[in-house]
Amino acid sequence: MSSELPRRLLSPSICCSLGKPGSLQPSLRPMAHEHVLRESVEVGRAATSFRGYRDGFYALELLGLVGAVLMLLTAIIWRKVVRRHASWLNFMTAWIISCASYLFLMAEPVGRHPNHNLCLFQAALVYSVPTLTSGATLALVIHVHMTLRSLLTLPTNHQRSWTPALVIGPYVPAWAIFTYALKVGLNDPSLVHRLDDGTYCDLAKESPQRVSSIVVVIIMVLCLAVEVVIFRHLWRAWESLKRDDQSSVSIIVRVLAFTLVGMLSIILSLFFLVIPDNHDMVFNIVIAIPPVSSVIIFGTQKDIFTAWASGFWNRRAHGADTWDTFTPNESRRNTVSPQVSQV
């Protein structure tokens, strides 16, 4: 018994308390291994959670991209049926650019560092596309307002003179913010980084986000103001417009949808102004909702289905009701009572 006592005192678990360096490693090795395993499990769970949100985010952006491309091609291929103003085509183009800008890193593993130039280019795009889409929305709403005025009053040529401004205008603030964000990233490359969830790249600086959010808020407030005027026109002209319930309800629903999307854009921009560093996955999912909403709003019009039917089932396509396509025609303009010309 006495001879075994020194052996037990000198066992690896007790030698640690005696301060012998060589004996620390055998005793701590199981604990260190357990700690590493625990961290690996936690990282794996977090990666699984991120992956689910990332897949949802990319799915929404892809859906918006494919839908916008499909709407644009439909309007181009069947232009005699789907008659669209240039501002509408520009609106869809803006959403195509927006959705595509978030998909650069879709095939890149989360733990891998992307190419720096690609990451910087994406970061500059991510800051600029909100102003592009909001500007394109404002341009389309202005066109709807001018179309409604032309429908309710005497025809004018103001729409043609305004068309270049409605098409080019949205790209001016977007290009300015893109250039500003690109300059910030070039001056300090360390600011360019990929988000923790791996969805896309941005800059570790608040100023580009704040500038972009302020511009979006200003544009969308103007957009909502124009929509209020549109509702005012519709309210005053309701007695004349309700003769065709389907067309009247269609334009009201789409203008209302414009308002809801505009309110969401304002809320997102204000949130970025208050908490500019919050880029969690739930918020990214919310960011991906507007493009899908826009595709649903403008992809469910009668003339689009008519065009598809003519293309896939060889049915003869007739010109759809142009009130639903934001393009007034003479027949409907003549059916409106002269008393509403004062709106």
Please determine, for residue 170, whether its predicted confidence score (pLDDT) is greater than 60.
Answer: yes
Q: What is the pLDDT of residue 143?
A: 87
pLDDT greater at residue 265 or residue 158:
265
What percentage of residues in the chain have a pLDDT greater than 90?
A: 31
Q: Global pTM?
A: 0.76
Tell me how far CA of residue 30 lies from CA of 11, 13, 43, 123, in angstroms: 16, 12, 20, 44
Give the integer Cα–Cα distance in Å for 83 and 327: 7
Bigger pLDDT: 254 or 183?
183
Buried b (16+ CB within 10 A) or exposed e, 215-234: bbbbbbebbbebbeebeebb
Say if CB 112 and CB 193 are below 8 A apart: no
Ranked by mean pLDDT, the top range of 197-206, 252-261, 325-334 is: 197-206
Architecture of domain 27-342: Up-down Bundle (1.20)
Helices 289-298 and 24-77 meet at what angle, rounded to 10? 20
- The residue-averaged pLDDT of 8-23 equals 43
Residue 14 has pLDDT above 90, yes or no: no
pLDDT digits (tens, 9 = 90+) for 188-200: 999 999 988 889 9
179-227: per-residue pLDDT in tens? 999 999 999 999 999 988 889 999 999 899 889 989 998 998 898 898 8
pLDDT at residue 231, rounded to an integer: 81
Q: Tell whether the model's pLDDT for residue 178 goes beyond 70.
A: yes
- pLDDT value at position 156? 54
Residue 321 pLDDT more than 50? no
Show the tokens assigned to 219: 């544009």
Which one has a higher pLDDT value, 161 or 77? 77
Domain boundaries of the chain, sorted by first residue: 27-342
Output Rg (C-alpha) for the chain, integer angstroms: 29
C-beta of residue 102 within 8 angstroms of C-beta of residue 194: no
Convert the pLDDT of each residue in 22-68 to its tens digit: 444 544 455 544 544 444 444 444 445 567 788 899 999 999 999 99
Count of CB atoms situated within 10 Å of the CB of 205: 15
Mean pLDDT, range 290-299, rounded to an integer: 85
Task: Quote the pLDDT of residue 335.
Answer: 45
> Which residue, among 203, 201, 202, 205, has the nearest Cα to 112 in the 3D structure?
201
- Position 24 scores a pLDDT of 43
312-322: buried (b, 16+ CB within 10 Å) or exposed (e) per residue? eeeeebeebbb
pLDDT at 186: 96
